[in-house]
Structure 1
Amino acid sequence: MEQIRFFFQSNYTDFSEQDWLIISSKFIRQEFPKKTLILKKGEVEDYVSFIEEGIVRYFIPKENKEVTFELTFSNNFIGAYDSFITRLPSVYHIETITPVTLWRVSYHDVQMLFQSTARGNLIGRLASEKLFLEKARREISLLNDTAEQRYLSLFTEQPDLIKKIPLQYIASYIGITPQALSRIRRRIS
């Protein structure tokens, strides 16, 4: 739980000890093995989760292949936020790539925290703004950067990436085929 508290305090705002006691009481800890679907397409997202340890991917299942459009690492929040706020079924899966430990808070408890804590609404708004900015940065990168630039950026941000994530997921995430990724890796090594 201290990782979550540090995350909130370093990214958003400080809060009272009373607010922290209320917030921390709503999170439950769950562990998931590698290759577990945390959320399946068609399900409504009921949780916002903080990754204590591990890596997850978001992907859209297609007939011939899967399209990985998000990778999330330790010390970040995950969830199908669009489904979470609209209460509509998700159009994608969320799957663990490695064994994952999550701290999860339910939709009902998030709504209660927004209403009952002094900083709840502020944290919610700032978290939504952060998510929006990350999504905008990714979209701009997909439009402006080369595949090699996207690969190098991802590798710089997560240096142990190559050891833990299958190359086909990385290729899909940066918008290229596994063969094109192999050519890029040969060229830069």
Structure 2
Amino acid sequence: MASYSSFISDTPSVETIQAISDADVLILKKTKIEELVQTHPNWMEFLKIIAEQEYLELEKRFFQLQRGNAKQRYVTLLENQSNYIQDIPLQYLASYLGITQRHLSRIRKEISF
């Protein structure tokens, strides 16, 4: 996990990442990645794919927050990442969706069967 903009600009990130469950972390310095790109051309293709995926996710998130209401955002999350609903505490889900915990609780109650 890394802030992509921080990675490409060599500046400190404005955000932090915190694991909410056990995780193994592999640290790979940017200089090592640059070395791999120089010695193994397939790494350039790999980095291109990462950049494209990052852009697609950013655009999807932007439009989701801009156009969708809170209920639509929750339903989309439920449809595409149902494991998040079970594993991530309510406060973090609410923050991700851009709503309060109370509003998220009302939405969950409204759509539960």
TM over 0.5: same fold? Answer: yes
Q: Is 1:92 aligned to residue 15 of structure 2?
A: yes
CA distance in 2, matches of 1:103, 1:153: 31
Matched with 1:149 is 72
Letter in 2 for 1:158: Q
1:115-154 to 2 correspondences below 5 Å? 115-154=38-77
User: Percent identity over the alignment?
Assistant: 37
Matched with 2:30 is 107
Matched with 1:161 is 84
Q: CA deviation at 1:160?
A: 2.2
Q: CA deviation at 1:162?
A: 2.6
Q: CA deviation at 1:118?
A: 2.2
- Between the two structures, name the one with larger relative contact order (CA 8 Å, sep ≥ 6): 1
Unaligned runs of 5+ in 2: none
Give deviations 1:35-85, integer Å, cap 9, x for gaps: xxxxxxxxxxxxxxxxxxxxxxxxxxxxxxxxxxxxxxxxxxx21121112
Matched with 1:182 is 105
Matched with 1:79 is 2
CA distance in 1, matches of 2:71, 2:101: 13
Q: CA deviation at 1:102?
A: 3.0
| TM-score, normalisation: structure 2 | 0.91
Q: Name the count of aligned residue pairs.
A: 112
Q: Which structure's residues are more often helix, by fraction?
A: 2
Letter in 1 for 2:7: F
Q: CA deviation at 1:163?
A: 2.4
- Kindly report the root-mean-square deviation, in angstroms, between the aligned alpha carbons of the 2 structures: 1.2
Q: Which structure's residues are more often strand, by fraction?
A: 1
